[in-house]
Structure formats: structure tokens, C-alpha cells
Amino acid sequence: MDTTVQAAPTALAAQSTEPTSLVDVLASLEGFVSGNILIWVLLGTGAMLTVATRFVQLRLFTRAVHLVRRSRHQRGSLSSFQAFVIGLGGRVGTGNIAGVALAVTLGGPGALFWMWVVAFLGMATSFAESSLAQVFKVRAADGIFRGGPAYYMQRGIGHGWLGRGMGVVFAVMLVFSYGLIFPMVQSNTISLTLQEAHGVPVALTAVLLMLVTAPILLTGMRVVARVTEWLVPLMALAYLLVVAFVIIVSLPRVPGVLADVVAGAFHLKAGLAGTGGGLFATFLNGTKRGLFSNEAGQGSSPNGAATADVAHPVTQGLIQALGVFIDTIVICTATGLTILLASKEVYTPGVEPAWAETTLVQHALADALPGQWVIWFMSFVVLTFAYSSVLGYSTFAEVNVSYLGGRRVSSLALRLAMTAATGLGAVVELSLAWVMADVALALMTILNLVAVLWLTRWVLGTLRDYDQQRAQGVAEPAFVAAGNPLLPGDLDGDVWTAERAAQRVATLDEA
């Protein structure tokens, strides 16, 4: 999740023409819930699932890497790789830059350590919610699967009005936040970056964004998947290659920086506290930024995970868990090391630079690799990271519009609204709408975690089925729900039948 969303209401409240008292009240409510309740529930859920799954994110990590490498084959729905990059596109945003910069500014080098801890636990949470999305998915009229928290709330929790009510509330809040508000935040970030770095008028950026967004969104999920399939790997690889060069140039200092990260996490060494001061500030900033960056537990990425046509739900669960690893352990760490390896004129723990989180990474890159090219490169990074997030959001929102009963006309209306929101966000400031989206996100996360904990037996039963098949020497386990003694109950529908399992295995053999 792009942490710019979290900061926007505070930064813009003074400029907003909306009722500032309501903005302040909602911002305070969201800050209290996220900082004092939600963060602990997310960490606790991740820890519980890590133990319950017997550290699935560790013992099946190499398996997850293998699955991603061979997941490009596509059947009737989206391919497993396409679902993976859609989820990764939604996870990887400008929060991987600005969020990390803010974390190490307020929390010091040690904040990076707590981001690692959060990512480790979040991998288990992401595995659970994405596996559930696969278990309870349904096939839509266009041949693409639909699933996610709203679906597993209704089909898994059931109990009549309870499961359906939870699903409807979740879907409405997701469509509002991911379908309308968050795309505006991303386009606002792009327009401000281009204006400040290159003097591009925000109105021109708005028009250009709509021109490049409309042809993709209006043609549907399959085209979104094809674009993200090459855009997300390209942007991530380009960013990581430049950062890798910075690390290689500064290689002798890397061990000392890593030692500062560990020492700073527990305040074992003086002078490593951030501007927030204190051990708790280091912990809080690292965990909060990590949680909002990788989105594990928020219930957004499972909507993309459900679109994949795989032989076993655990397959996509492992692949989506790897997305958390890439987002935080790889990309956020790359950003953090770039900042921490910079000279003291750029970054010093406990001293907040004038540019703070806005261009701290740009200054750090320029410190190691001088030249005007850095400004253009960071503009490219911000633009692609933000734009890929918008594409990911479109899939998340469309899945939930389908859940609410929307058909082709409703999906078209959503895509038009998202295109308009992308342009509008580049030129306006709507702090009240943004803070309302943050509140919706917090409530969405709570609802999703309740559902995941409620349905943990389904996660564990599905995982046991996968583990048993692999222990029996099955190279590519296939899931059959009917009569499965490892599941806590019956599962209706025709997605996970023996006939479908045989078809999927045959297709895998052909690939």
C-alpha cells in the first residue's frame, strides 16, 4: 500500500476547503485505530498463522520461487503469473520510496529491521488470505475467476445475513477506496513529481494520465493483466539494478550499515535513533510502514490472487506470499540501504533533512551517482510505481463490483470512473475523501482479519492436503474439495471437482 495515502490528509488539511474539523476527527480516529489496535492485530495474526502453518513462508519458500518461474501458462482465466504481478503492482507503489524514507527518518536505521519482521509475518498472512481467495472463488461469465474477502466471507462464514453482510460492507469500502480514492492519490503523486522536477503543468499531466489509462482500463482485466505482466517486472528490475550499483559502489560500508540496522532496532548503540526518538518510535515506524507497504492482511491482493487458474489453492497462496517478500525484503530494503549508505549531508539519524521523505531517496542516489539523470530516473520510478498501482487497483475494484451484482455495464461504469478519478486526482486536493478512504481501509482490514481467523481451519486443511500430496511424491498437487476429509466442511460449486482437477493436471503436463 502506498503510504502517501496515510500522510496525505495531514499534509493537506491546512489547505483543504473541506470542513477541517471533520477531517481532523476522522484522521485522529484512523490514526488511533491503525497505530494502537490494527498494527497489533496484524502482527498477532501473522504470528499465529506462522506457527499454525509450521512456518510455511520458510519451509516452502524455494517452492514458491519455483512456482513463479513456471507460472506463465494461461488457461481460461488469468495465468498464475498475471495474478501475481497484478497483486505485486498493487503492493509496490510510491510507499516503497516515500514510506521507507519516512520510516528511517522518524525511526532511524532500526526501523528497517522491524520492516523485515513485519514482512516475514505478513508472508504467512498473505498466504492464508490468498489461499482462501482461491478456495472460495467462482467463475464469472467472462471466464475469469472472481474471489477475495467478500467471497470467502459469504461462502466460508455463511450463516445467512452474517457472511453476506460482511461481504457487502467489505466490497463497498474496497470499491470506494481502491476504485476511486487511491487512484487519485497515485495520480496526485505523479503530477506533483513531474511539476516539481520538470515543470510539467498538472493539467497536462491529468490529460496524459487519462489518455494512457483509458485504453487499458476500458478493455478489461485481461488487457490490464497483459500490461502489468511486463510493466511491473520492468519497473522493479530497473530500480533494483540502479540501487544494486549504489550498493556495489559502497560495498565496504554495507556490513557497518547492516550492523546499525540491527543495533538501531534495539537501541544498542547511541546516535541511531530517528527524529521520533526512542525504541518504541523505531518499532512503531518500522512496523507501520512495513504493514502498509506490503498490504498483507488488508484484503486487497486476494482479489487479484483469485483470478489465477491453478491446480491447487496453495499454489497461488505461496506465490502471493512471495509478493510480500519482494515488496518489503527486496524493494524496501533496497530503498533503505540507499538512504543509509548516503553521506551525513544527506542522512543522519536524529536529524530530519529539509526534504524529509519527499526526495530523500533522490538525494541519496545523487550522492552516490552524481548527475542530472537521477532526477529523470526517479521521475520514471515514481510514475511507473504509481501507475502500476492504479492498474492493480482496477482489478481489485472490478472483482468487488462483480460481487455486488454488477454486470458488464457496472464494470464499464467503474472503469470510466477510475479513468476520471485518475485525471481528477492530478489537479485537485480532496483531503476529506482521502481520510475517509483511510478509515475505510482500516475497517476493511479488520473485517478481513476476522474472516481469515474464522476460516483458519480451511487454510490449514488445504495446506495439509498440499503437503500430503507432495510427501507422496506428487510433483504438482491438484485440489479436490468434494469428500476431502482434511477440510472442515463441504464446499459447493464446480471449481474444485475431480473432473476439473484432472483437466488442470493434464494442462500442466502439456505445458
Q: Mean pLDDT over residues 253-279, rounded?
A: 83
Q: Does 10 fall in a domain?
A: no
Are the CB atoms for 152 and 136 separated by under 8 Å? Answer: yes
As to burial, measured by CB atoms within 10 angstroms (0-12 exposed, 13-18 middle, 19+ buried), residue 395 is: buried
Task: State yes or no: pLDDT of 18 exceeds 70.
Answer: no
Q: Mean pLDDT over residues 132-140, rounded?
A: 92
**Residue 72, C-alpha cell as written in the block:** 506463465
| % of the chain surpassing 70 pLDDT | 90
Residue 451: the pLDDT is 95
Q: Mean pLDDT over residues 416-426, rounded?
A: 86
Task: State yes or no: pLDDT of 335 exceeds 80.
Answer: yes
As to burial, measured by CB atoms within 10 angstroms (0-12 exposed, 13-18 middle, 19+ buried), residue 409 is: exposed
3-state secondary structure of 278: coil
Task: State yes or no: pLDDT of 379 exceeds 60.
Answer: yes
Q: Mean pLDDT over residues 184-189, rounded?
A: 83
Residue 45: the pLDDT is 94
Tell me how long the chain is: 511
Residue 232: the pLDDT is 83
Task: State yes or no: pLDDT of 276 exceeds 60.
Answer: yes
506: CATH: 1.10.4160
Which among 478, 247, 470 has a CA at the least distance from the CA of 365? 247
Q: How many CB atoms lie within 10 A of CB 450?
A: 16
Q: Does 170 fall in a domain?
A: yes
Q: What total of structural domains would you count in the chain? A: 1
Q: Mean pLDDT over residues 470-493, rounded?
A: 90
List Cβ neighbours of 372 (8 Å cut-off, separation of 6 or more): none
List Cβ neighbours of 278 (8 Å cut-off, separation of 6 or more): 267
Q: What pLDDT band is residue 357 in, cutting at 50, 70 and 90?
A: low
Rounded (10°) angle between helices 360-368 and 333-340: 60
Task: State yes or no: pLDDT of 59 exceeds 80.
Answer: yes
Distance CA 45, CA 312 (A): 24
**Residue 460: half-sphere exposure toward Cβ, Cα within 13 Å:** 14
Q: Does 503 fall in a domain?
A: yes
Rounded (10°) angle between helices 98-107 and 279-294: 170
Domain that holds residue 477: 23-510
CA 18 from centroid of its chain's CA atoms: 29
Residue 280: the pLDDT is 75
Task: State yes or no: pLDDT of 171 exceeds 90.
Answer: yes
3-state secondary structure of 308: strand
Q: What pLDDT band is residue 19 in, cutting at 50, 70 and 90?
A: very low
Name which residue leads in pLDDT, 355 or 86. Answer: 86
CA 395 from centroid of its chain's CA atoms: 13
| Alpha-carbon torsion (154, 156, 160, 166), positive or negative | negative
Task: State yes or no: pLDDT of 321 exceeds 60.
Answer: yes
Q: Does 4 fall in a domain?
A: no
Mean pLDDT is lowest, of 3-12, 33-42, 311-320, for 3-12
Q: Does 185 fall in a domain?
A: yes
Q: Does 480 fall in a domain?
A: yes
Q: Mean pLDDT over residues 38-46, rounded?
A: 89
Kindly report, residue by residue over 116-130, the tens digit of the pLDDT.
Answer: 998 999 999 999 999
Residue 74: the pLDDT is 54
As to burial, measured by CB atoms within 10 angstroms (0-12 exposed, 13-18 middle, 19+ buried), residue 98 is: buried
What rounded mean pLDDT belongs to the chain? 83
Task: State yes or no: pLDDT of 510 exceeds 60.
Answer: no
First to last CA, the chain: 34
Which among 100, 134, 171, 164 has a CA at the least distance from the CA of 397? 171
Are the CB atoms for 426 and 195 separated by under 8 Å? Answer: no
Residue 433: the pLDDT is 67
Residue 295: the pLDDT is 81
Region of residue 143 (left: phi > 0; alpha: psi -120 to 50; beta: else): left
Residue 27: the pLDDT is 78
Residue 9: the pLDDT is 38
Mean pLDDT is lowest, of 85-94, 158-167, 175-184, 197-206, for 85-94
Q: Mean pLDDT over residues 353-363, rounded?
A: 69
Kindly report, residue by residue over 430-460, the tens digit of the pLDDT.
Answer: 676 667 777 878 888 889 999 999 999 999 9
Q: Does 213 fall in a domain?
A: yes
For cell 486443511, name the residue: 461
Task: State yes or no: pLDDT of 222 exceeds 90.
Answer: no
Name which residue leads in pLDDT, 57 or 281. Answer: 57
